[in-house]
Every structure is written in C-alpha cells, then in structure tokens.
Structure 1
C-alpha cells in the first residue's frame, strides 16, 4: 500500500478563494505539481477563465492564479492509496490538512471551492463547522479525467459560473 502526502498550500499575499482537492494523483506527485495529469481539466478551465496561456510553465500558471487571489491545497495531508483514484483511499489512514488553522491565517478568503465530490465530503467530515461559517463553500465537478460523466464544456461552465459568482461577491 502506498503512503501518499499532499503538497503545501500554494497562495499569494491575500487569497480570496481556496480550491481544495482531495489528494494529488500519481502524475501530480511524480511532477510535484498540482493537477499535472495531462488530461486533467483544471488548468484548461483556469486558463480560459483567467485568460492566461495554458502553455505557460507550471510556476507561471501558479502565479497567474495566486495573483488573482486563488490558492490551492488538498483536504488530506496524507493517506494510503494504491493508484490515483479517490475511491481507493483507505479511510483509516486519512490525515487531514489543518485547513482551520490556514483559514485563521488567511482572513481574506471568502470561498472554498472543492474540486470534486470526494474533496467536498472530506471537507465536511473533518471541518463540519465551516458549513455554518460566512464562507461560500461549493463542491464543483471534479476536473480529474477519472470523472468522465460530465463533458469538459459542462465542467468548464460550472467552474466559470462559480468563479464569477465569487468574484462578483455574490457569496
């Protein structure tokens, strides 16, 4: 059984949105980069919304997000999981990141956007009190290629609508 660990949070000076995944997949861990699988829709969705070149190097893509107030992290800090599927995570091995402490240090955050159902479930499991906070919390369609039930155009529309709502302050 493979023990996997998430990355540190990536954030700029005053993040407004925290995008939470569940746990990086194998491709991301191998490349030490969020959403590194070539068929993951995260970067195409972000590049089209924020109007930056998808072909930019990873560090430049991160800067494009953090400069616009978007931070990235995962709900889980570590777990045992063979492969990349969320369904393969061994429940008894899960250890959550300290999202509560991170939020205390990042009072500018107004929204948590969960990348997929598993991230939303894990956030609710470990931090149920956030549901009654002033934060806008939304679970969006997973950008993972493993979630093929929704076409890319529909995923893109849902993510863009959510980013627009948060950006417009309609939280």
Structure 2
C-alpha cells in the first residue's frame, strides 16, 4: 500500500525540527501527527514543555510546538508499506530535507524520532546542523516511556530555551 507523509508543520523561526519516518496507519486515518493513543510523542512533549498538549486539539498542539521553535515533519514523503511498522517501508521517496533545512536560518537541531528516520534522513541534513537520534515514540518500540522521556529530555532540553 502506498502511503504519504503529512505536510510539514514548520515556521520560519524553527530552531528544532523533529523528523519521524512515516506516519502509522492510525495517524494517517486521523490526519494528524502522532495520533495513535499509545504513541509517547505528545506525553513526552507535554512534559518537556510543561503544557498539557494531550488535552488540546491537534491544531493547538502544533501551534504550541511552533511557539517553542519546534517543527514537525517526516523523512519519507511516500513509500510502500503494509501496516505501520518502519521495518515494512519499501520504495521510499525522501522529502526534500536539505532544501527545507537550508531555508530555516535559525535551525540548530534535527531530532530524529527513531532509528529508521535517522537512517533514511541523516545524509540529507546539512553538516552544520546538529543531529540527534531519539528512541522512537512509537508504541512498537517497547522501551518504557520513562526511559524514552529521559532520553528525549537529555537531548532536547538544552535546545528548548530561546
């Protein structure tokens, strides 16, 4: 099945860009980033930003991220994939990451949400932009949420202050 990523949620003053691989089926069906109720992304970002993002409609969640200099996008523009697992991605077309990064003059950090996103996208990122690979927020990645949060906090907190 051919699946496509969502439009980027990025403002011109973006300082940190979080890149996933390709939305899972629940997110694709809902039409929103990280819509699976067991995905740890929104709980982690809520704790990091000290905002209850999970209680907000998705548009307000996106606005809150943008207000904190954070953008969202996916590495994969389109791919074949049965189900939601990254291991099932084939025939991937990559989003124009280098061009987008070059246009973001305040961008300081690319945070890959999982190893697949990093594997497919890291070579596309200009060398002057710092990169970090985070444990996947996906429920398929069985690391406990406390450990995911700790790893995300260590990597992202220094970049959250303006």
| TM-score normalised by structure 2 residue count | 0.95
SS in 2 for 1:94: strand
State the distance in 2 between where 1:161 and 1:109 align: 19
Return 5+ residue gaps in structure 2 as ranges. Answer: none
SS in 1 for 2:55: coil
Name the counterpart of 1:50. 49
Alpha-carbon distance, 1:13 to partner? 3.6
Name the counterpart of 1:87. 87
Whether 1:73 aligns to 2:66 is no
Whether 1:152 aligns to 2:151 is no
Whether 1:161 aligns to 2:159 is no
Matches within 5 A, 1:95-110: 95-110=93-108
What is the Cα-based RMSD across aligned positions, in Å? 1.3
Return 5+ residue gaps in structure 1 as ranges. Answer: none
Alpha-carbon distance, 1:161 to partner? 1.3
Name the counterpart of 1:18. 17
Whether 1:4 aligns to 2:26 is no
SS in 2 for 1:24: coil
Contact 1:15–1:70 (8 Å) recurs in 2 = yes
Contact 1:78–1:94 (8 Å) recurs in 2 = yes
User: Which aligned segments of 4 or more residues in structure 1 are displaced greater than 4 angstroms?
Assistant: none
Q: Paired residues, what number?
A: 161
| TM-score normalised by structure 1 residue count | 0.90
